[in-house]
Amino acid sequence: MQNFIIDIKHFIAQNTDLAIDENPAGFPNTPFKYLFFPEKNVVLHCVSLENKVDEATFFQKISQLLAQKDIRVIHLWEDVWQTKRSIVESRLMSIFGKSETIPARLTQVQRIDKPTLDKFLINNHLQGKVNAKLKYGLFLPNRYFRVIQNEKVLHENAHREAFLVAVASFSNAKKFIRDGQEFRSYELIRFANYKGFTVVGGLNKLLKMFIDEHAPDDIMTYADADWSDGTNYEKIGFERIELTPQLTFELDNETFVRKLADENSKTKIYNSGNWKFLMKLKDDAERD
């Protein structure tokens, strides 16, 4: 555990000037370590694999107690840090306001194919690739490459006409009846920015194109409660529906391979579940 914590603290010290308060008084009891950043009102709950909790709702309760103090908690698991470190670092920098930003108005929305989506998600999303029917990308044309400060990214994309800076993927429509009306509902399955960047207004721009092309009645999505309370979804028109039950995983402590547990799993761990959100697009008159 000590090396895990040292690595996180070293990364943050190298890339920010934020003060760290370790294990502040008054925080909920835990066998793990807190790294609290008072300036941002954010705490990393560093979940070491050396310790284990058997209470299925433990992490959800920690989140709820800290939310009462208006503190955002990130449950940062050691296996996630070890296997997806560059993506974790990128997400932390975004949370701390240290990402490089690109205005969405400079980008163009295009349909992308499955290999392009899969590669992007593997490299830039903590949960990796997923099957999706509808796939969109945000591209920064090379005439705007001047806004990029990262020399490595500039070099890697110098020969391209455009740089893929964000993606969004959606399910096909599912039809269901609610209050005597038929609804066509889609799921926003994945959204991701390129590591180290935040496309300001990027998700809004991707959603607009999707809505223009498919005219959905609803769009549903989930936010990983280990990382987010989903407030950013509410800011762009989604309604918070519920916190889903925690997921149960089986984890190999040596290989850091994590998979959903089944009834034969001997060692189980529990996450914080997901926040479910819904964007209602059907006219209010049609709903009444």
Residues 56 and 125 in one domain: no
Poorest-pLDDT segment among 35-44, 125-134, 176-185, 236-245: 176-185
Does position 178 have pLDDT exceeding 80, yes or no? no
Residues 110 and 215 in one domain: yes
Residues 73 and 149 in one domain: no
Using a pLDDT cut of 70, give the percent of the chain over it: 97
Does position 205 have pLDDT exceeding 80, yes or no? yes
Residues 11 and 105 in one domain: no
Torsion, Cα of 224, 228, 229, 233 (10° steps): -90
* CATH number of the domain within which 91 lies: 3.40.960
**Tokens found for residue 138:** 């945000």
> In 3D, which of 90, 158, 163, 169 has the Cα closest to residue 126?
90
Q: What's the whole-number mean pLDDT along residues 69-79? A: 96
Residues 246 and 104 in one domain: yes
Torsion 232-88-4-15 (CA) sign: negative
Poorest-pLDDT segment among 2-11, 79-88, 223-232, 275-284: 275-284
Residues 70 and 105 in one domain: no
Residues 119 and 237 in one domain: yes
Residues in the chain: 288
